[in-house]
């Protein structure tokens, strides 16, 4: 398999569109890296540069520590699957999977073994005699992946491979891709704009915005401790609530966070107090995930925020409450930060025993 190193990759297309701007990223041998970001952020361009289908304007692609700039996709031993990956209509599913082996001149007995292995991993063994038009969309995509993997590539690159499928099938195939890629141990880069796909599939997630790499880390880390406000706002449904807070240090006693007209206290015994102390008199941004908010039966001064429910949204298994706490909410877009009207989202039936106070402060992001 292969280790990928991207060194200061910039891509400017003719006409001046900057698709990638100084991207540095290391992908470990056998790792499943998900590239995520809004439409047009440069995900597909980066994938095509790794594949050797596109040349960077500047920067280097390394494979196993060697500069791969001069290598063709074939020499890089890359297999790619796209959103609309077409099968050869005049070949049965099995012949489609066998095709790359046949043109490589592999002997038929060895071919049979490889096809059985690939088809087994993708659950299409029973479908090998069918024509493409006799397969469902999900089955066709499985066969397409089988055809990509049968050559045992060093790199497996997928560009939104599930986006044409319905949500049930997507969840099913997602689990299968994850199992298959891990059992094969092939280094995989997976492009998506779907957060569920990213958070559930990835060993690590790389978040891009406007060609700039914003954060790289495990799903848990980028969700809980995002490196930038863009990442905080981009990941998570419902969106994180970002609130402006002012820090006040009361020596020998506590730290107070003023949020709108209300205050939250943090005792000195809390290790996070030391970090916050640096921001005395300054504004910071506090990020609150809806699932971290819980109603409190007996509020105590400095330990909770008071608010009124403005609106309830029912989502079947849970409800979302929009709570006005009279604070300034920060809205993030890639171009900067602008304040918006107050509204905080909270899950209505969150566990009342959770300490709202501690959960709030776990999610602090510096402006
Ligand atoms: P999507 O999720 O919509 O597929 P993406 O994140 O994959 O988007 P890219 O396709 O990599 O984004 O495009 C990044 C930027 O580069 C966009 O602004 C796009 O318009 C531009 N771009 C991509 N390919 C070309 C090209 N061949 N010529 C000029 N500009 C291009």
pLDDT digits (tens, 9 = 90+) for 190-213: 999 899 899 989 999 999 999 999
Burial (Cβ within 10 Å: 0-12, 13-18, ≥19) of residue 341? exposed
Q: Catalogue all structural domains in the chain, each as residue range(s) with its CATH number.
A: 4-234 (3.40.50.300), 241-365 (no CATH)
Task: Verify whether ligand 1 is closer than 6 Å to residue 359 (CB atom).
Answer: no
pLDDT tens digits along 9-33: 999 999 999 999 999 999 999 999 9
Task: Verify whether ligand 1 is closer than 6 Å to residue 47 (CB atom).
Answer: no
Mean of all residue pLDDT scores within the chain? 85
CA 198–ligand 1 middle distance (angstroms): 20
pLDDT reading at 6 higher than 90: yes
pLDDT reading at 357 higher than 60: no
**ipTM rounded to 2 decimals:** 0.97
Alpha helices in 70-166 (DSSP H): 73-76, 93-104, 108-122, 137-149
Query: What pLDDT score does 349 carry?
Result: 30
pLDDT tens digits along 103-115: 888 888 888 888 8
Percent of the chain with pLDDT strictly greater than 90: 43
pLDDT tens digits along 106-165: 888 888 888 888 888 778 889 999 999 999 888 888 898 888 888 888 999 999 988 877
Instruction: Output the CA angle 275-280-282, nearest 5 degrees.
Output: 105
CA 41–ligand 1 middle distance (angstroms): 7
Query: What pLDDT score does 1 carry?
Result: 65
CA 150–ligand 1 middle distance (angstroms): 29
């Amino acid at each position: 398999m292969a280790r990928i190193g991207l060194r200061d990759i910039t891509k400017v297309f003719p006409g001046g569109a900057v698709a990638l701007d100084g991207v540095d990223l290391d992908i470990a041998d056998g790792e499943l890296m998900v590239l995520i970001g809004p439409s047009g952020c440069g995900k597909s361009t980066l994938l095509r540069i790794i594949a050797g289908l596109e040349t960077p304007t500047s920067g280097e692609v390394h494979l196993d520590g060697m500069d791969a700039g001069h290598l063709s996709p074939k020499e890089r031993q890359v297999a790619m699957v796209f959103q609309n990956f077409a099968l050869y209509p005049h070949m049965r599913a099995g012949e489609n999977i066998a095709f790359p082996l046949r043109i490589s001149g592999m002997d038929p007995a060895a071919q049979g073994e490889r096809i059985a292995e690939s088809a087994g991993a993708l659950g299409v063994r029973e479908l090998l005699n069918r024509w493409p038009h006799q397969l469902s969309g999900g089955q066709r995509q499985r066969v397409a992946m089988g055809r990509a993997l049968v050559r045992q590539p060093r790199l497996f690159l997928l560009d939104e491979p599930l986006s044409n499928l319905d949500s049930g099938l997507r969840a099913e195939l997602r689990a299968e891709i994850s199992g298959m890629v891990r059992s094969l141990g092939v280094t995989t880069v997976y492009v998506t704009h779907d957060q569920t796909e990213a958070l559930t599939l990835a060993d690590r997630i790389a978040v891009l915005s406007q060609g700039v790499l914003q954060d790289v880390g495990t799903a848990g880390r980028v969700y809980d401790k995002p490196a930038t406000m863009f990442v905080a706002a981009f990941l998570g449904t419902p969106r994180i609530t970002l609130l402006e807070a002012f820090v006040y240090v009361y020596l020998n006693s506590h730290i107070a966070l003023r949020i709108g007209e209300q205050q939250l206290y943090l005792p000195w015994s809390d290790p996070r107090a030391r970090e916050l102390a640096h921001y005395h008199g300054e504004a910071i941004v506090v990020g609150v995930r809806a699932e971290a908010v819980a109603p409190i039966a007996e509020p105590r001064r400095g330990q909770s925020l008071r608010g009124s429910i403005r609106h309830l949204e029912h989502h079947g298994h849970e409800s979302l409450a929009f709570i006005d706490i009279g604070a300034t909410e920060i809205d993030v877009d890639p171009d900067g930060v602008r304040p918006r009207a107050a509204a905080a989202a909270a899950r209505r039936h969150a566990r009342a025993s959770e300490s709202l106070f501690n959960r709030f402060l776990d999610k602090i992001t510096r402006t």
